[in-house]
Amino acid sequence: MATLRDIKKRIKAVHNTQKITKAMKMVSASKLRKVQNRMLDLRPYADKMQEVLIRLAKGADRESHPLLAFRARKTVEVVVITSDRGLCGAFNTNILKAAQKCINDYKKEGFEVSISTVGKKARDYFRRRGVPVRNSRIGISGNIRFQNAEEIANDVKENYINETIDEVIVVYNAFKSMATQTVTVAKLLPLAPIEEGKEGSAPESATVDFIYEPSMEAIFDRLIPRNVDIQIYRALLESSAAEEAARMSAMENATKSCNEMVGKLTLQYNKARQSSITGELMDIVGGVEALKG
């Protein structure tokens, strides 16, 4: 049976853990506010840019730009975005499960799968399973800059143009709310046309011949590569915001668990102390009776 000293040590250890979880929650809250503002500012721009380019591409020749070209799929690139650190609940687990399912589905269809990772958790996950990773980047989580997105995008664009890969899929956690992060599997390349009749699509009358100024080639050369940069940048910001929200939730739950554990240990300590006092009283009473005899 645990002694009073052992129980007091455990209570002190749990209190120390509780201080750490509270501090981590406050740090995550501060980081979340910063990255959330950047993410919310970028969202409308990224959405509108993607929408405009898809509509332009719908009425254009697919061979007018190498990043628009459709070709027979042989190799599919899956870009998996996770965090560098843990202690964020099921954040990384959900991403890796979705990525593994996506990879398995493509392999069942007979495609070769190339994998790029962002974050230590994704890199280590595939490394432990002996799965080759074409490109890996770490140290981005928590310190995202547009330059990071450009580096990832340039690598993807170069391999797509060189026909090393024929399709690019990005798997990441999208931020929905403080309590909800949604695993998102998004097609990055090639740009997919909006299908008529689907919710959110434009009516058929919206399909028109556009007047390009200065020229279609100049517009596509400038905007399509930039759109890839923007969409990857958005995925990184969404993932970062979702990570901090998940860590806040995990640390809050950990703090509550510490409170419950302290309550149980305190009750155990009081019972043990009461039992010890009762035993000492019984010894005293026994000694008194022996003296009387």
pLDDT tens digits, one per residue of 190-212: 876 544 334 444 444 445 567 77
**What pLDDT digit, counting tens, does each position of 128-157 carry?**
999 999 999 998 887 899 999 999 999 999
Q: In what order do the strands lie in the sheet with 181-189?
A: 135-137, 112-118, 75-81, 167-175, 181-189
- Give the H or E element holding residue 118: strand 112-118
**Integer Cα distance of 96 and 77 in angstroms:** 15
Task: Give the residue with greater pLDDT, 278 vs 9.
Answer: 9
- In this predicted structure, the answer to whether residue 246 has a pLDDT above a threshold of 80 is yes
The DSSP output letter for 184 is: E
Secondary-structure breakdown of the chain: helix, strand, coil percentages, each rounded to the nearest 5: 60, 10, 25
**Integer Cα distance of 26 and 205 in angstroms:** 51
**What pLDDT digit, counting tens, does each position of 36-45 carry?**
999 999 999 9
Task: Give the residue with greater pLDDT, 2 vs 249.
Answer: 249
Task: Give the residue with greater pLDDT, 251 vs 55.
Answer: 251
**Integer Cα distance of 237 and 20 in angstroms:** 26
**What pLDDT digit, counting tens, does each position of 91-111 carry?**
999 999 999 999 999 999 999
Exposed, middle or buried by CB within 10 Å (0-12, 13-18, 19+), for 103? buried
**What pLDDT digit, counting tens, does each position of 161-170 carry?**
998 999 999 9
Tell me, yes or no, if 102 is annotated catalytic.
no
Q: Single out the residue of 21, 29, 92 nearest to residue 252, CA to CA.
A: 21
The DSSP output letter for 66 is: T
Q: Is the CB of residue 133 less than 8 Å from the CB of residue 126?
A: yes
Domains and CATH numbers, the chain: 4-21+250-292 (no CATH), 34-246 (3.40.1380.10)
Q: Which residues contact 190 (CB under 8 A, 6 or more apart)?
A: 62, 67, 68, 69, 70, 160, 167
Q: Is the CB of residue 249 less than 8 Å from the CB of residue 178?
A: yes
Q: What's residue 238's pLDDT?
A: 93
What does pTM read for this prediction?
0.83
Of 39, 78, 88, 169, which one is the catalytic site residue? 88
Task: Give the residue with greater pLDDT, 16 vs 205.
Answer: 16
Q: What's residue 279's pLDDT?
A: 76
